[in-house]
């Protein structure tokens, strides 16, 4: 039986759809997609350990500071309660380390609500004119607060919605660490806003 679309996650940083039934994993995927410090999100469903196949459902984040396997401390697969399979994935994928992530790490506000609000616009179609107005304004002015961009880019649609949709496809980036008020910094090209960090 086929999984419903909501149980899979895909973005411009994933090479394939990733099973994502639990909200904790989905929120981490969204935040990692919008995090400029994360280059790619990989999924490794299983590993062979001592001649046994172990289901790991492992996520590996390729970040600016290295490759890291994610240990969802509160939601490890029943087949790998001590994360031994995850450790093997870390070795096989030449990870720099394993990051322990809890529900509290992913649920930090205002980052959680801001990322969800931005991702809500992932399926929105942006017209060529609106795209050009926003990206040209960022090219001319450099990084700007959201409220300034709204004045600089004459879009047909609400400029904030256009910015959110462009962030979901990687054309620009928004600093989500302080939420989505008018002071949130927007930068073209999806580069260099200071990345989010999880775990210990």
H-state helical runs in the chain:
23-34, 84-92, 103-106, 111-119, 128-141, 146-152, 159-169
What is the pTM for the complete model shown? Answer: 0.87
Q: Please check whether the domain covering 111-188 is classified as CATH 1.10.10.10.
A: yes
Q: DSSP per residue over 10-73, as a string?
A: --TTBSS-EE--SHHHHHHHHHHHH-TTEEEEEEEEEEEETTEEEEEEEEEEEETTEEEEEEEG
Measured between alpha carbons, how far is 135 from 63 in angstroms, rounded to an integer?
25
Domain ranges of the chain: 5-106, 111-188
- Report the mean per-residue pLDDT for the chain: 88
Mind listing the pLDDT tens digit for each residue in 18-31?
998 889 999 999 99
Q: What is the pLDDT of residue 6?
A: 61
The third-level CATH classification (topology) of the domain covering 5-106 is: Trna Endonuclease; Chain: A, domain 1 (3.40.1350)
Residue of 77 and 181 predicted with greater confidence: 181
């Amino acid at each position: 039986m086929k999984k419903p679309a909501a149980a899979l996650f895909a973005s411009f940083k994933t090479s394939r759809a990733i099973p994502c039934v639990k909200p904790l994993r989905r929120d981490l995927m969204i935040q990692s997609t919008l995090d400029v410090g994360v280059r790619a999100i990989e999924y490794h469903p299983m590993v062979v350990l001592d001649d046994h196949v172990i289901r790991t459902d492992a996520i590996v984040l390729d970040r600016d500071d290295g490759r890291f396997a994610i240990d969802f401390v509160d939601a490890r697969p029943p087949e790998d309660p001590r994360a031994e399979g995850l450790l093997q994935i870390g070795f096989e994928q030449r990870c720099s380390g394993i990051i322990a992530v809890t529900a509290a790490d992913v649920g930090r506000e205002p980052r959680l609500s801001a990322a969800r609000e931005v991702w809500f616009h992932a399926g929105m179609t942006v017209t060529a004119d609106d795209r050009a107005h926003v990206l040209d304004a960022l090219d001319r002015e450099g990084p700007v607060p959201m409220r300034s961009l709204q004045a600089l880019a004459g879009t047909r649609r609400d400029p904030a919605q256009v910015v959110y949709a462009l962030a979901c496809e990687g054309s620009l980036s928004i600093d989500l660490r302080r939420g989505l008020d008018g002071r949130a910094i927007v930068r073209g090209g999806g580069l260099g806003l200071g990345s989010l960090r999880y775990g210990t």
